[in-house]
Each structure stands twice: as C-alpha cells, then as structure tokens.
Chain A
Amino acid sequence: MSRSLPKGQALLGAGVLVLGALVFGGSFTLPSEGGYAQVGPAVVPRFVGIGLLILGAMLLREALTGGFRGVDEEAERHLPTDWRAFAWVSGGILLYGVLVEPAGFLIASTLLFVMVSRGFLSRRWLLNAALGLAVAAFIFTVFNYGLGLQLPPGILRGVLP
C-alpha cells in the first residue's frame, strides 16, 4: 500500500516546523528578564516556539509514515481541488486589496463579486456586475451616509454625492 508520498502533508508539517523555528528564534531577540513579574516577554514565545517545533516534527512523521491519521486522501482523489475556481476567488480578493483605495470601494467590491461568482461557475457577467454594484452601493450608502464612516470613493470622488 505504498502509494505516492503525500507531498502536501509533508510540506505542511515542514511549514509548521519553520513557523516554530521562527517563533523560537525570534524569542531570543526579546528581553527575557521581566523585572518585578519575573517572567519577561520572551518566555511564553519560547514555549510556543518549542511546542510548534515538536508538533511540526510529529506532523512530518505522520505524513511520512502513512499520512495524517484520519485524513482520507482517497476521497480527495475522487474530488480533486479545482484550482481554477481557487484562482478566481483568490484573484478577486487580492485585486480588492490592490484596488480598494485607488479605484474605490464600489469598483473593487463589484469586481470581487463578479470574480467570486465566476469561481462558482456563474458566467452571467452583466447580471453579476449589476448585483455586485447593488450590494456595494447599499453598504457604501449605509456606512458613508448613515454611520458616518469613510469607505474610500476612489476615482469616483466628486462623482458621488
């Protein structure tokens, strides 16, 4: 029953090890004496770092000896991850982060709505754009005119009331 090594699992275990090393190593840049409290700001990070290192090693061991216990890689093969859908959703969020300030909340949110819908296989671009704009406009109205909060108008500054 020696199938291919679960690469993702091994990488994940290694990732936890790296995180542990970061936290553990980082704790040495912090002052460890705590004055009156006896426990400085470095002590708990050091414990958390050690914990992550141990847990990462245990994860790696599980991954290399038959895979994570209770994770059904067989079922996963029957329902493989659709990376194209993943990319549409990811792109929507990242683009939102890039655009929300320069282009404004309305444009960024509408694009996000369209791209996430596309990730879920909806190709009705115009309808989705209209729906997205409606949701965004609703939020924008409530926040900027109702609650007095500032969501960025972006390039529509001056155009919007």
Chain B
Amino acid sequence: MDVLSHLANGFAVALTAQNLMWALVGVTLGTAVGVLPGVGPAVTVALLLPITAKVDASGALILFAGIYYGAMYGGSTTSILLNTPGESATIVTAMEGNQMAKRGRAGPALATSAIGSFIAGTLATVGLTFLSPLVVELGLKFGPPEYFALMIVAFTTVSSVLGESTLRGLVSLFAGLAIGLVGIDNQTGQARFAFGTPQLLDGIEVVTVAVGLFAVGETLYFASKLNQVEETLEKVSGSIWMKAEDWKRSWKAWIRGTLIGFPFGTIPAGGAEIPTFLSYAIERKLSKKPEEFGQGAIEGVAGPEAANNASSTGSMVPLLTLGLPTSATAAIMLSAFQQYGLQPGPLLFESNAALVWGLIASFYVGNVMLLVLNLPLVGLWVKLLEIPRPQLYAGILVFATMGVYGMRQSAFDVFLLYAIGVAGFLMRRYGFPAAPVIVGMILGPLAEEQLRRSLAISQGDPMVFLTHPISAGLLALTVVILVAPWAWRRIASRRRA
C-alpha cells in the first residue's frame, strides 16, 4: 500500500467519535498547560500515564500527542502577554511578541503565532507523513549495533546541543542513565541499586522523575525567586486580526520557520530552542525593517513560532520510525507505548499500521482544532493567566502529589518525589538541563538491551560496532559532536595568542 492509502486508513481511525474526542481533550489540555506557567506538557503527559490502563492505545497516544503540540500553541500566548518567558522554546517569541503587546499590538502578535503554528504544524505533518515511510525503509536495515550507535548519537545530541554547557548536559544525561539502572534488570532478573528497598525493585517511575524535576523543582525555584520579580500581564485590546501588511510580513516567515524547524525536529538533535533562535536570526537579517527588531517586529514572532511547532511535529519522525525520543515529552510518550507492550520503530508500522497512521492523521485534525481554540477563543486562555500565582502553584502541586502518590498508593514515592524536586531545583539554579535526565532514564535501558544483543551476535567482540559501517559512522559522528566545539575553541584561542 502506498502512503496515501495508509493515510486514508489513518483518518478512518482518527475520525471516529471517540478519537476525535481524545484529540480535542488533548489539544485543549495542551493549550491550557502551555499557557499556564509552572506546568508543561512533560508533566501533564506523565501524570496522565496511568490512563493507559483504561484507554485503548490509539486513544491515549492521540491524547498525549495533542498535549505535546497543543502546548506549543499555548506557550506563545504566555510569552506574548507576560514579561516572564514560559517554555524555553518560546523565549524568542517573548522578545518580539511582548514588545508588540506593550505597543497595543497583542492581537496581531497572537494571530500571527496561531496561524503560523497552524501552517507549520500542518506542513510538518505532511512532512511526517511522507518522510516516515522512507525512514522506516532505512530502519528495517538496522540491526542491534546500528540501533545502539543511533541511541548513542541521540544521547550526545540531546545533552550537548541543548543548554549552554556540554558538560552539564552530560551530567544530566548520566544522572538519568543512573536512574534508569535502578530496579530489576529485565534480561537477567538481577536486582540493581534497589538497596534492599522493595519500592525500588520495580525501578523509579518516569512519572515521579518528570513531576519531580518539572513540577516540584520549578515550584521550589519560583517560590524562592519569583516573589521578588514583578510580573506584568499585557491586555489584549483592539482587533486580534492582522492587517494586510502583517500578512505580507508574516507568511514568508512562517514558511521559512517551518523549513528550519522540521529538519531540526527530525534529526535526533532534540529541542525546539535552536531552530527558534536560528529562525529569529534569519528573519532579522532578511527583514526590510531590521530596526523594528527588539521593538516588536512581527516577523520575529511569526518565524520562531512556526519553527517551534514544525520541530515538535518533526520530532515524531524519529520517535515513531526509530523509537528515538529527542525531548522529555517524546521520551514520556515512548514509555506510554511501552505500557501497551509496543516498541516504536520500523516494525510498528507493519504490526500496528492502524495505530501509527491514526496517530499521524490525528495531527492534521488536531492542528485545525488548535487554530480554532487559539484564535477566536484566545480570550479564554488569557483568563487562565489571571489566576493568582500562589493558588496556581498550590493547585499544581496538589495534582502533582496526587498523581505520584496515587500511582502506587505509596507514601515512599512522595518522599522520592520531593528528593527529585530538590535535585530539580538545584539543576535549575546551576543551569543543568532537565530533558537529558528523562531521555537518559527511558532510552538508557533500551540502549543496554541493544548493546547486549549486539554483543550476543558478535559473541562478545566489541569491534562489532566498528565493523558495521553505519554504526561506525554514527559513533564517529558522536565523537565529532562532543569534540568539535572544544577543539574549535582551542584553535580559536591559539590563533589569538
């Protein structure tokens, strides 16, 4: 069957009343948590993981995906209206968007980001539709050594490309790998690092870690800092519609943002930050009115917003076709697949075609829903921003502790949650990225499995990773990613000396 007939079957799945409802719930929740400071898509998906026990796989995954890309839409509303940046991928939007809002142009700023997100999300879904089968073809040729090498590449890019320091990114990654080790080794049944504690035998739940780092850690951080910062919420006054000139200046930026964002999402480089910064830089360079940048240039909102949406959809390509998550939320979605005993990868496209294509089709549907939710209904979300901070964070923590305690009915998990929260606070305080921890703890055990399989095939000879050309190439790439920035600095400083 060709792509289009697969996609048609996918729509048949996505357009059932039940799945339409899951998509609507997902994108609505996603927009809400994107708008709200202090809670993001990773925490939300983690807290909802237990529903995998009650809901069928396609419904749950459509819901989770909706939360993931819905949050991208919602995040921009906060960045534009509030002077404190929300999610890291919307920092750039905040620069121009908040300036536009301060000048009474909040409406067009919200409109260009919602329409730009829609165009980018839809184009990126087209990309996802046609690129995935090609990557699947490639993935089918991969054996354990290639997968192991690919995972090593993902580890390095997620920890070194994100954030400002490769060293701190790697520390986060290794902390995540260490967390992933806890519990019973699923190949030999050996208990590892459980310290005789029965609660640790099953391993540390991703829910506890994600909620600890992202909800508890953030709340501790903001409680100890935010009370001293003045927040100002801009009003949406006047028409939200864009003028002809706004359209003219936006549409090229949307397209360029998409073209930058999508490839960045698909390669395991992780994160939507870099494409947004790139898009911003390019728009600034190409603009006919560069002097407006920094004071509310609409291109500076349109481009980066398109880029972050395209990249979040793009990151579904490696997740679905190769089982490689490149962001915290994608990693948690991977563990949702595992709850159903499914392993994303090329084989999933054959064994569960209806599920995969239904999920892809739901992206088209979800983006249309999001356009409606975020343009005519934007006033509703602005109301969310008016919730006073003390009660907002208190409510978030009540939900967070309930989710972690309720999962296993164990008070032990609450104390573990607090410990991870303190770690998250320290990481935030000292500039350690959180996403590599989640990717490390979920992808780590899978990488170990591939490592063992590879060595079983080669009868213990570690050279297997170098004699297979693809895995050798990927490992060489890893070395380049790790060493190049360092070597570059060395050469540059020697020249200066």
Judging by beta carbons under 8 Å apart, are A116 and B452 in contact? no
Which residue from B178, B411, B459 sits with its C-beta under 8 Å from A23? Answer: B178
Q: In the complex, are the beta carbons of B188 and A109 less than 8 A apart? A: no
Would you call B369 an interface residue if the criterion is a C-beta within 8 Å of the partner chain's C-beta atoms? no
A120:B227 contact, CB within 8 angstroms: yes
Q: How large is the interface on A (under 10, 10 to 19, 20 to 34, 35 or more residues)?
A: 35 or more
Q: Is A132 in the interface zone, CB < 8 Å from B?
A: yes
If A82-B228, A113-B398 touch, does A120 touch B190 (CB 8 Å cutoff)?
no
> A34, A69, A88, A101: which contacts B188 (Cβ < 8 A)?
A34
Nearest CB to that of A116 among chain B residues? B394
Closest-by-CB residue of A relative to B454 is A39
**B391 and A109 contacting across the interface, CB-CB below 8 Å:** no
Query: Beyond A85-B224, A122-B388, is A12–B401 a contact (Cβ under 8 Å)?
Result: no
* Complex contacts, A105 vs chain B, CB 8 Å: 402
Given that A86-B220, A135-B395 are contacting pairs, would A12 and B430 also be in contact in the complex, using a CB cutoff of 8 Å? yes
Q: Would you call B225 an interface residue if the criterion is a C-beta within 8 Å of the partner chain's C-beta atoms?
A: yes
B187 to chain A, nearest CB (A): 6
A112 and B395 alpha carbons, distance in the complex (Å): 9
A93 to B415, CA, bound (A): 8
Residues of B within 8 A of A58 (CB): 167
Q: Are B406 and A121 in touch, CB under 8 angstroms? A: no
Partner pick for A37 among B224, B425, B456, CB 8 A cutoff: B456
Residue of B nearest to A81 (CB): B224
B365 contacts the other chain (CB 8 A):
no
Which residues of B have CB within 8 Å of A147?
54
User: CB-nearest residue of chain A relative to B216?
Assistant: A93
B352 contacts chain A at the CB level, 8 A cutoff? no
Pick the contact of B190: A30, A69, A118, A121 (CB < 8 A).
A30
CB atoms of A135 and B398 under 8 A apart: yes
Query: If the complex has contacts A93-B216, A116-B219, are A100 and B174 also in contact, measured as CB distance less than 8 A?
Result: no
- The CA of A104 and the CA of B421, in the complex, are separated in Å by 23
Cα A157 to Cα B460 in complex, Å, equals: 59
Q: How far is the CB of B417 from chain A (nearest CB, A)?
A: 7
A128-141 vs B, CB cutoff 8 Å, 1 = contact: the mask equals 10011001100100
* Docked pose: A26 CA to B223 CA in angstroms: 36
B414 A85 Cβ-Cβ under 8 A: no
Given A39-B451, A100-B405, verify A93-B391 contact (CB < 8 Å).
no
B248, CB-defined interface residue at 8 Å? no
Complex Cα gap A134–B162 (Å): 40
The yes or no answer to B377 lying at the interface (CB within 8 A) is no
Q: What is the distance, in angstroms, from A70's C-beta to the closest C-beta of chain B? A: 4
Contacts of A155 in B (CB 8 A): none
In the complex formed, the residue of B with least CB distance to A58 is B167
Question: Which of B165, B421, B459, B460 contacts A93 (CB under 8 A)?
Answer: B421
- Say yes or no: A79 contacts B225, CB within 8 Å: yes
Q: How far is the CB of B248 from chain A (nearest CB, A)?
A: 39
B174, B389, B402: the one within 8 Å of A52 (CB): B174
A107 within 8 A of B: no
Select one of A12, A55, A70 contacting B426, CB under 8 A: A12
CB distance from A82 to the nearest CB of B (A): 5
A66 within 8 A of B: no
Say if the beta carbon of B192 comes within 8 Å of chain A: yes
Q: Say which residue of B175, B394, B456 sits within 8 Å of A38 (CB atoms).
A: B456
Shortest Cβ gap from B463 to chain A (Å):
13
Interface mask (A77-114 → B, CB under 8 Å = 1, otherwise 0): 00101110110111011101110110001000100111
B406 lies within 8 A of A143 (CB)? yes
- B448 CB within 8 Å of chain A: yes
B390 pairs with A70, CB closer than 8 A: no
**Chain B residues, CB < 8 A from A121:** 227, 390
A104 to nearest B CB, angstroms? 12
**A85-B223, A120-B226 are known contacts; what are 7 more A-B pairs with Cβ within 8 Å?**
A52-B178, A98-B411, A112-B394, A119-B390, A120-B390, A131-B395, A143-B402
Task: Offer 15 A-B interface pairs, CB within 8 angstroms, sorted by A.
Answer: A19-B178, A23-B178, A35-B188, A41-B192, A48-B177, A55-B167, A79-B228, A93-B417, A109-B401, A112-B397, A116-B393, A117-B394, A120-B227, A151-B405, A152-B409
Q: Hey, which bits of chain A sit against chain B, CB under 8 A?
A: 8-9, 12, 16, 19, 23, 26, 30-31, 34-41, 44-45, 48, 51-52, 55-56, 58-59, 62, 68-71, 76, 79, 81-83, 85-86, 88-90, 92-94, 96-98, 100-101, 105, 109, 112-114, 116-122, 128, 131-132, 135-136, 139, 143, 147, 149-152
